[in-house]
Structure 1
Amino acid sequence: MDKTLIVTNDFPPRPGGIQAFLHNMALRLDPERLVVYASTWKRGSEGAQATADFDAEQPFTVVRDRTTMLLPTPRVSRRAAGLLREHGCTSVWFGAAAPLGLMAPALRRAGAKRIVATTHGHEAGWAQLPASRQLLRRIGEGTDTITYLGEYTRSRIAAALTPQAAARMVQLPPGVDEKTFHPGSGGDAVRERLGLTDRPVVVCVSRLVPRKGQDTLILAMPRILREVPDAVLLVVGGGPYAGELRKLTAETGVADSVRFTGPVPWAELPAHFGAGDVFAMPCRTRRGGLDVEGLGIVYLEASATGLPVVAGDSGGAPDAVLDGETGWVVRGGPAAVAADESADRIVTLLGDPELRRRMGERGREWVEEKWRWDLLAEKLKTLL
């Protein structure tokens, strides 16, 4: 029986979008034909216990390396090759092409017949720097297929590959569980708990890092409040930018109209999306194009929940929006510059219930047509 070996650093319980992508795909493959080789989430007894508990719940085999970050070293390559032979795996899926895809030749020698490497946002950054560009080229030569999220990442990564490897690229974005993210996901209960029952809510669900644009939304709030005085910005998530954002709300004078939830368990995220009337995350590109949004699955989760979205123009984020149909794409530049455009779009949506309804319904329809996990998992099975 042919089996697949997934080699990845990005796997739960480590949090993040790539981790959720891989786990959702893995759950839709045959568990009897799947082995996951992953790094350890974090050191210490608490991290070890969380990892052990998570692994025990999975229907497939999970093998953890002792390190918290797998690198394509000789030791890791030998371990991966040993697992490939031990479990009779004939195909390999690198959960993130860079840098682990550099192990492809070693796994080919160990018996892998099909090797697929998935790219995300950071590989587009690799493609811009001479040294990492050459490594990306080697990964393309060593694999059968490199997958990409959307046109933005495809065009940049393809430029670093040989023409033959670029021609083998296939789109494989993350999907949305439309049964989990839906209009009746429990948003009313979240609103009631937070005291927001009768207020128009702009919700942003994401890690709190500068690229995501929560600061743009805070700077947009004075303009929004002039038009919609009882509006509130609900910022869902945790991250290193939290302190700066809280400080900015005070400096901007909108602290009473911005709520921070902090980190929220994954199971509660659908209800927090549902607490909003509008979803907004005006993400921006930073560091000369090295820090970009690969796709922005949160826009699609919001669409599945029936919300119109306001997205930034960073990287592949526009691929997750039908501009003018499921929401709008706005400029995601410096916060002080981008705030006015975000405010304009948000005010328009908050003031027009019919427009919100129409865009939300179209977004839900689009997710069901194109972005369901089961459709994308079938595509992965074919590639493997």
Structure 2
Amino acid sequence: MTRILHVLDHSLPLQSGYTFRTRAILKAQQALGYEVCGVTGQRHVQDGPLVEEVDGLRFHRTPGKPSGPSGFAEWREIGAFAQRIEQLVGDWKPDIIHAHSPALCGAAAARVARRHGIPMVYEIRAFWEDAAVGNGSVRANSLKYRLTRALENHVIRSADAIVTICAGLRDDLLERHCPAERITIMPNGVDLTLFGTAPPRDSALAQELGLNDGPVIGFIGSFYDYEGLDDLINAMPYLTARYPDARLLMVGGGPMAGSLKFQAENSPAADAICFTGRVPHDQVERYYSLCDIMAYPRKKSRLTDLVTPLKPLEAMAQGKLVAASDVGGHRELINDGETGVLFAPDNPEACGAALVSLIDRKDKWPTFIEQARKHVERNHDWARNVNRYQDVYDALLSKASN
């Protein structure tokens, strides 16, 4: 049985788009007959045992916390992570090391893979330097940005095969002179065993939150600046002018939570906007059940043009209408006017107009929902897409045996 060691930034039981994609990958690979386990670096911040079983998956942890001045801290972090991977290679003897971005994971994995002659796959979900700009921790083209980009390029050159999640990232890799034959696209996907029939509306929760029978626009996720949630709040007066009973349900939290709540409190549509804070993952479906349209108003940036998000796919699988800004990452997932609607980014009026247009066409909602679900089933079902990994692994193992 082929053993795959996945090298990860963090994992379940932490909850994020990153951990949910990881879970889907490992579960789908188990179903194909692979033996899999994961190892996380020092950025997995949740307390727990050194070896942890979650949802039938085993994760090994790297002890310690990053410390020291910038640059030196990351170098020590890579070293500690590599030592932990080295231990697992000795004990578990994987056939392939599959590292996932950010570049710290790839750099640690590359050290061990070279030392032991084990084929290494590097999977890029986003470029670390662009993600740091998106969450406000790094300025574009700063020294730290350029150093991080250089580390990313080093890992790309070190890997035997590259996997990435979308065409935008693949095109950027080609511009970095990564050979096309080394790149495989593994698109973001949904475990459809977790998304069956959409749950019925939770009337008790609706009453608890003060939602009426008017159309409900929802956002469920992390409140980062690049998500454009300030534009969504500013779109609400346009929507309520046409549909006074419309409501906006904001579920989640993050760096922008305080400023977004302040903005909402001072909006002409303040009474139409509801914040719930973060909710347990096992309760998320209850909040989805209240939403008619899921809105994703991401701002236009290098990050949002290159990277496809997971949330719109989950919403389509849940039988929800999707309205999203017209950035590159969304265009790869949504066919405007067929599986959802796109609107100009950084434009609250365009966002409001798109929402009004969808509500005006309520008779078309079943068609939108059916087409979106079929799109996910055809193109973004993990049970199908996981076979692309098998092709990559088989090619590497065949080359290693020759």
User: Normalized against structure 1, the TM-score is what?
Assistant: 0.87
What value does the CA root-mean-square deviation take over the aligned residues? Answer: 2.7
Q: Residues 115 and 221 (structure 1 numbering): CA distance in 2 closer, same or farther, change over 3 Å?
A: same
Equivalent position amino acid for 2:258 in 1:
G
How far apart, CA to CA, are the structure 1 residues paired with 2:196 and 2:94? 37
Aligned to 1:156: 172
Aligned to 1:198: 213
CA contact (8 A) 1:39 1:68 kept: no
Within the candidate set 349, 352, 355, 2:358 is matched to 349
* 1:136 pairs with 2:152: yes
Q: Residues 181 and 195 (structure 1 numbering): CA distance in 2 closer, same or farther, change over 3 Å?
A: farther
Aligned to 2:313: 300
Aligned to 1:23: 23
How far apart, CA to CA, are the structure 2 residues paired with 1:103 and 1:379? 25
Aligned ranges for residues 1-384 of structure 1 at < 5 Å?
A: 1-30=1-30, 33-39=35-41, 47-48=46-47, 51-52=48-49, 55-68=52-65, 73-123=78-128, 125=130, 130-162=146-178, 164=179, 166-189=180-203, 190-286=205-301, 289=302, 294-333=307-346, 338-384=347-393
How far apart, CA to CA, are the structure 1 residues paired with 2:101 and 2:268? 42
Deviations 1:254-279 (A, max 9, x none): 22101111112222223322321111
CA contact (8 A) 2:99 2:121 kept: yes
SS at match of 2:202: helix
Equivalent position amino acid for 2:126 in 1:
G
Q: Residues 208 and 74 (structure 1 numbering): CA distance in 2 closer, same or farther, change over 3 Å?
A: closer
Equivalent position amino acid for 2:332 in 1:
D
SS at match of 1:275: coil
SS at match of 2:37: strand
Task: Provide the aligned length of Structure 1 versus Structure 2.
Answer: 371
Q: CA deviation at 1:170?
A: 0.8
How far apart, CA to CA, are the structure 2 residues paired with 1:277 and 1:54? 41
Q: Residues 121 and 57 (structure 1 numbering): CA distance in 2 closer, same or farther, change over 3 Å?
A: closer
How far apart, CA to CA, are the structure 2 residues paired with 1:145 and 1:85? 23
Q: CA deviation at 1:68?
A: 4.8
CA contact (8 A) 1:292 1:315 kept: yes
Q: CA deviation at 1:130?
A: 4.5
CA contact (8 A) 2:295 2:324 kept: yes
How far apart, CA to CA, are the structure 2 residues paired with 1:290 and 1:207? 16
Aligned to 2:137: none
CA contact (8 A) 1:28 1:374 kept: yes
How far apart, CA to CA, are the structure 2 residues paired with 1:321 and 1:112? 41
User: Normalized against structure 2, the TM-score is what?
Assistant: 0.84
How far apart, CA to CA, are the structure 2 residues paired with 1:153 and 1:57? 30
Q: CA deviation at 1:225?
A: 0.6
**Percent of residue pairs bearing the same amino acid type:** 23
Deviations 1:234-285 (A, max 9, x none): 1111112111111111221222101111112222223322321111111013
Q: CA deviation at 1:329?
A: 1.8
Q: CA deviation at 1:209?
A: 1.4
CA contact (8 A) 1:283 1:293 kept: no
How far apart, CA to CA, are the structure 1 residues paired with 2:51 and 2:367? 40
How far apart, CA to CA, are the structure 2 residues paired with 1:197 and 1:173? 37
Equivalent position amino acid for 1:151 in 2:
A
Q: Residues 94 and 316 (structure 1 numbering): CA distance in 2 closer, same or farther, change over 3 Å?
A: same
Which has the higher mean CA deviation after the structures are superposed, 254-263 or 289-298? 289-298
Gaps of 5+ in 1: none
Deviations 1:68-95 (A, max 9, x none): 5686633322321231121011101112
Q: Residues 197 and 365 (structure 1 numbering): CA distance in 2 closer, same or farther, change over 3 Å?
A: farther
